[in-house]
Amino acid sequence: MGEDSRPDWLGLNAGTFGLKAGEFAELVIERLIAQCTKAGDVAIDCGAADGRMLACMLAAVGREGAVIGFEPIPHIHEALRVRYAAPNVALFRACVASRPAADVAFYHVKNRRWISSLSPDHLEGYAVESIRVPVTTLDAAVGRLDIGNRRVAFIKLDVEGAEFSALQGGEGLVATHRPFIVFENSLARAAASFGYDRQEFFAWFRHHDYVLFDVFGTPCMEDHWAERRGEVCWNFVAVHQQDPRKREFQETIAATLEGIQSALHRHGVLRPA
């Protein structure tokens, strides 16, 4: 299928034809978890929320593997702890960032919890309460666990702008395990809230020999930062250049997208255009 004839995946993900905004990307991420992890692996969910991706990770890694989750909002963390009470699940009530801290402000949006963030930016008009939460790094948290010789195969980050900071706090983990990474990020907007810039962002991935795509397979380039942000989804894939999953992702993403769309049509979820 030629570039000009590709379906409008961005439009579909925006919340048209019966789907809620972002739902199509979530379905793609579920497929990526299944494709990019195997029994015995370790998978990490930063911003576990309702546990949707935790469930996918557990199904993929099996009893031989392990899942690590981070969720700072106390009542949501407690619900996850009860729901996922298993020996191969570790759940931290903490945020992840580039540096640890014992007690920081976290902005819990009571009427839209999924946009709660370490930054108060862009939360005007919502019912926001400031709560105090611990902050850890991925390197420190995983280092406290006994994962043996298992591979950290997959990391998903949806932490409302702090994704790049969280990756900076996982330098050792990324260098050692070369995980397949899926993360949400608003590029220039997130950078302005969390104190970094375009050069620092892309240099980090180049340093680790990672390449970037959005979850629909479009390569993420530096000129997507602000000027052309409407050309990429704000859910991204980062994969090491030498990881065979890079080629697999590139070769199968079109079929994956079309398969999800077809399944949604069969189940009557998508309305006709």
Domain 40-196 listed as CATH 3.40.50? yes
- For the record, the structure tokens of 47 come out as 């911003």
**What value does the mean pLDDT take over residues 43-51?**
96
Give the predicted TM-score (pTM) of the model: 0.95
Sheet holding 42-46, edge to edge: 89-92, 66-70, 42-46, 152-157, 180-184, 235-240, 210-214
pLDDT above 70 for 229: no
Using DSSP bridges, classify how beta strands 210-214 and 235-240 pair: parallel, antiparallel or unpaired. antiparallel
pLDDT in tens, 152-207: 999 999 999 999 999 999 999 999 999 999 999 999 999 999 999 999 999 999 99
pLDDT above 80 for 212: yes
Residues ≥6 apart with Cβ < 8 Å to 159: 46, 47, 70, 95, 96, 117, 118, 166
Q: Please, which pLDDT band fits residue 7 given cuts at 50, 70 and 90?
A: confident
pLDDT in tens, 97-133: 999 999 999 999 999 999 999 999 999 999 999 999 9
Q: Please, which pLDDT band fits residue 2 given cuts at 50, 70 and 90?
A: very low
pLDDT above 70 for 5: no
Q: What is the pLDDT of residue 255?
A: 96
Range with lowest mean pLDDT among 80-94, 102-116, 146-160, 217-231: 217-231
Higher per-residue confidence, 16 vs 73: 73
**What value does the mean pLDDT take over residues 208-221?**
97
Where do the structural domains in the chain lie, given as residue ranges?
1-36+250-273, 40-196
